Amino acid sequence: MYILECENMNRKSCEERIDEELKSRMEDIKAIVEAEDPIEELNNRALALSRTVVYKLEFSWGGPQDYFEFEYDPEAKELIEVRYYFLDWFDGASRTIRRGTKEFELLERLFYETILIE
């Protein structure tokens, strides 16, 4: 455990790495799009393609704005994640509501009983 902690101390955070990672990934996307067979190239490079649906429940908009996003997997019929957003003129924050919390259970109930009506 100590060795792992020391190794992680020398690594950059995801925030520090993301711009370079995005640049690299965009080079991959360009190669896929410009390939002779883009579908085959995508199949060779991509790990998986998942389809989810995001439901946005807005309570206010303008300044400030707040809303919840419910990410749902229609194939698995499962609520994957709930996020809360609060935005106010050139500033914003979001929180993922953790599964297993009272807040998640309440939002999950709201989602299945009022938003996702099958």
Same domain as 66, residue 36: no
| Domain total of the chain | 2
Q: What angle do CA 22, 45, 71 make, to 5 degrees?
A: 65
* pLDDT given at position 13: 86
Range of the domain at 67: 53-115
Same domain as 69, residue 40: no
Ranges of H-type helices in the chain: 2-9, 14-34, 38-45, 102-110
Span 70-104, pLDDT tens digits: 999 999 999 999 999 999 988 999 999 999 999 99
Span 31-65, pLDDT tens digits: 999 999 999 999 999 999 989 999 999 999 888 99
